[in-house]
Amino acid sequence: MIEEEAWVASVENGRVWIEKQRKSACSGCQQTCASSVTAGLFAAKTVRIPVFTGQPLQVGDKVVVGIRESALVLASARIYLLPLLALIAGALMGKIAGATDPFVALAGLAGLVLYLLVFRTFSHTDSVDLRPVILRKIN
């Protein structure tokens, strides 16, 4: 279980909205390099997520939320790995068919677009596996 601390922003009928301060991947040092400046410009300061719970929580409570590692790995594969494989498969099919380079590139893009359409049609954003759960209250 991947755990992260957050706080309760609001409470509504068995559902709480938690907020978490977004961290940049390059926030480890105190340098003002281009990466940290870019991350600061485009990153939202807080992330707000709805979580269903039966625990009695109040606004301002600090909680630990978690998500299963396997769910995160599967979601990452669906978002990053599979589109890349669809692009490569489309390009390979174009190359096997004997197309010229511009048409091989178009076949690759067609494979990517086809994957994105299938993903959009069959993706379930309400998947229980991808919902964070409140593990415990800190304060």
Q: What is the C-alpha separation between 77 and 118, in angstroms, rounded?
A: 15
Indicate if the pLDDT at residue 5 is higher than 80: yes
Q: pLDDT band at residue 126, thresholds of 50, 70 and 90?
A: low
**What is the number of structural domains in the chain?**
1
Cα–Cα distances in angstroms (integers) from residue 96 to residues 41, 88, 89, 103, 115, in the given order: 45, 12, 10, 12, 20
DSSP state of 130: G
pLDDT score of 111:
96
Cα–Cα distances in angstroms (integers) from residue 125 to residues 55, 63, 72, 119, in the given order: 24, 24, 13, 11
- pTM summary value: 0.65
Segments forming the whole domain that contains residue 129:
2-137
